[in-house]
Each structure stands twice: as C-alpha cells, then as structure tokens.
Structure 1
Amino acid sequence: MPLWQIFHPADAFSPEDKAALAEKITDVYGAVMPRFYVGIVFHPIDPAQFFVGGKPADRFVRIVMEHIARSFPSVEVSRRFIDRINAILKPYVADRGFDWELHVDETPFDYWSINGFYPPRAGTPDEIRWRAENRASPRTRD
C-alpha cells in the first residue's frame, strides 16, 4: 500500500488538479499492484502554520510517501521511481512556482492488513485476483 500525504498551501490545487494528480499517481502503482492499494491525502496548510528553514513557506509542497506493498530493490530503481514522480509533479508544482520536497518510507510487508486480510505477495495468484477484482478478499494460499 502506498499512502501519499501531500502538504500544500490551501490554494495550490483545485479539486480538478487533485483528481488528475491522484489518477496519475495511481496509474504508476496500478501497473504493478491493485489500484485500491493507493491512498492519497491532500492536506491544505495555512501559510502561518507551515515553516521551512524557520520561515513561512507559502510556496512549498511537502510529500510523504509510505510504501508497504513493494520495496525498492536498489538505489537505481528508487531514483527511476522518484524521477518519474517528479515528472508527474512538475506541471502541478514546479511549473506553478512551488518548491517541493518528497521522501519515501518503506514499512515491512508483514506489518500490514486490509479489511482484516493479509495481502498476498507480489505476482501470486491471489494478488492477480485482487488486481482484477480491485478489492481485498480472503487469500486462497499462503
């Protein structure tokens, strides 16, 4: 499960921007895992409540990604992923004059459940079924 938290100035994104960005982010992950794994939360922040370097940050976007369903096998793979994400973000942040920062935390796969079910491992028949059904359900194998 990737969970994204996007902290941003209150006027940074329209509802349409949020929907489009969420769809593009979900598309990245949906190529390799069930789409319903992806959660994205937009946190509008009052500029008086957001500081970077001790100064108010009224043109700054901070993104925290939590990964559980997959982990990066190498630094090279993580860099390709981050480069791809930065390209998706560019029209929404860089092209609008925002500074931004992002990072990925990886949680061990075994510390996770969805609707009380332990998710199947990548590429297993159960995960293939979860992707096709786009929902969690009882596993048929360990």
Structure 2
Amino acid sequence: MPLWKVYTPPNAYTSAEREDIAKRITSAYAQIPIPAFYVVVIFREIPENSYFVGGEPHGKFIRFEVDHIARTLPGPILREWWVRTLDKLLAEYLRPRGFDWEFSYDETPFDLWSLQGEIPPPFESIAEKRWVKENKASSYTLDEKIPAGHFVLSPGVHQHE
C-alpha cells in the first residue's frame, strides 16, 4: 500500500483539488497494476506559523511523505524515474502556486501489512489480479498465490501455460 501523507499550509487546496491529486496518485499506481484500494492519501493542514524550514517560518511549503509497502522500487534508475514521474504528475499543483516542496519515500516490509485481516497476495498472483479487478481485499487459497498464467496440475505441482 502506498500511504501518502501530504502536509500543506491551511487552505492550500480545495476539496476538489485534493480529490484530483488523490486520483492522479492512484492512477499512477494503477498502471503497475496494483489494486486501487491499496493507495491511501491523507491531507494534513499544518497551522500557520507551525511550518519551519531551516529554522525559519515557511508558509508556502508542502511535504509529501510516502510509505511504500505493496512494492519496492528495484535499483537507482527506477527509483529516480518514479520520483521524477510523481513530481511531474503533481507539478501543476505546486510550482505555479509558489510552493516549495519535498518528497520522501520509505519502503517497509511487505510481510508486516494486512488489509481487512488478509495478508496481501504476492505481486502478479492470481489472487492479486482478482483484488485489482474487484478493488477490494478478500480471502484467497494457496493456489491463488501462484503467478497468473500458471495452472495447477496436481497439489504442489505448477506448470506455466
């Protein structure tokens, strides 16, 4: 699950703008694809005179703090590409309005995460593809943990189609 915490000055964005930002972020992750319900975006308005950058008050600063749990980004090239992609995706809500901003990403262990009491299925597994389609968490079988495109020949034996 990518959990986005967006810290903004008061009234930086309207309700409709916050919704558009959340949809843009979600659409970027949906391209992977991961279930849309994995993506959570929380906006927190920081009271005036409560934001300090370099020890000085800064009323035009936005901080994006992102926890990646569902996926990790392999290697420096893909990491840079992803950071730049999301930066561009949100640029119109930042630069023209005179905001300074900062992104940070943390990658936390996948196996220390659950949704509605379910441990998320592996990437590109049969169960995860179902979760993408249904856009909700649900129980799944051991056989559904195998990658999509494989089928079960007999218990414990799998073959690629």
TM-score (norm 1): 0.97
Partner in structure 1 of residue 16 of structure 2: 16
The separation in 2 between residues aligned to 1:139 and 1:64, in whole angstroms, is 31
Alignment of 1:1-142 (within 5 A): 1-31=1-31, 32-141=33-142, 142=145
SS in 2 for 1:47: coil
The separation in 2 between residues aligned to 1:47 and 1:94, in whole angstroms, is 20
* Structure 1: gaps of 5 or more residues: none
> What's the offset of the Cα at 1:44?
0.6
Say which one has the larger Rg.
Answer: 2
SS in 1 for 2:6: strand
Which letter maps to 2:26? T
The separation in 2 between residues aligned to 1:139 and 1:71, in whole angstroms, is 23
Q: CA RMSD in A?
A: 0.8
The separation in 1 between residues aligned to 2:5 and 2:122, in whole angstroms, is 25
> What's the offset of the Cα at 1:124?
0.2
Identity of aligned residues (%): 39
Which letter maps to 1:130? W
Deviation sequence 1:86-138 (CA, Å, 0-9, x none)? 10111001111100001100001111000100000110000000000000000
> What's the offset of the Cα at 1:50?
1.2
The separation in 2 between residues aligned to 1:130 and 1:57, in whole angstroms, is 42
Deviating above 6 A after TM superposition, structure 1's stretches of 4 or more consecutive aligned residues are none
Aligned residues between the structures: 142
**Which structure ranks higher in relative contact order (CA pairs < 8 Å, sequence separation ≥ 6)?**
1
The separation in 1 between residues aligned to 2:58 and 2:8, in whole angstroms, is 9
The separation in 1 between residues aligned to 2:95 and 2:87, in whole angstroms, is 9
The separation in 2 between residues aligned to 1:135 and 1:11, in whole angstroms, is 32
The separation in 1 between residues aligned to 2:128 and 2:82, in whole angstroms, is 22
TM-score (norm 2): 0.86
